[in-house]
Amino acid sequence: MDKGDIYKQILFAAAGIDPTKELTDEPRPEKTLYRLSEWYKNLDRRGRYRVRRAFTKLNHLELIESTIENNEKKVILTAAGRKKITEYQLENLKPNQPKEWDKKWRLVTFNVPENLKASRNLFRNKLKDLGFAVFQKSIFIYPYECRSEINLISEFLGIRPHIKFIEASRFDGEELFREKFNLL
């Protein structure tokens, strides 16, 4: 396990998120930190040393805060740590593709001001990476549910107020996109 993986394990555990599962609405730090301590106990001497160093580094970077209460070590995720977790989640983000299409199109429109040009370009590129098709210059289309992914990306980039989400059942030129997404 490399350093980056150890950092991720610790950050996700501090947030109460099991890194092997999807994001849950109810984080459970006590369960994931317990799992992390069990994992730690099973490491060899070198592995435990690397985990301790990772805790120190994450504390130094102010991604976590460690405190001791009632002879128990508590790990708290900071705002910077939450931001780092969101970055990790964005790296692995993929919209769900059910086996059967619900015959609805999702259009994401955006009108991001020029002073947020870098965020606008990152947003556009992330949509392309996720498999969205360009409908018009600032309108992208996708055939599956993706609202939560769009919200996560736009909130992270700080452009949420400039994003609109539309669901449509049909439109002119639909056949071209059916072909593009293999929905014939």
Assigned domain for 100 exists: no
Residues 6+ apart with CB under 8 A from 143: 101, 104, 105, 106, 177, 181, 183
Last residue of a domain, one of 62, 91, 120: 91
pLDDT (mean) for 37-41? 78
Most confident option among 1-15, 26-40, 71-85, 126-140: 126-140
Phi-psi region of 182 (alpha: psi -120 to 50; beta: other; left: phi over 0): left
Give the pLDDT confidence of 3-30 residue by residue, as tens digits: 678 888 888 877 777 655 544 445 555 5
Lowest-confidence pick of 65-74, 152-161, 170-179: 65-74
Cα 26 to Cα 16, 18, 75, 128, distances in angstroms? 8, 11, 17, 30
Structure tokens at 85: 């977790």
- Domain residues for the domain of 136 are 105-180
Last residue of a domain, one of 64, 91, 118: 91
Longest dimension (CA), the chain: 66
Q: Taking the model in full, what pTM does it have?
A: 0.71
CATH number at residue 152: 3.30.70.240
pLDDT (mean) for 62-81? 84
More confident: 24 or 152: 152
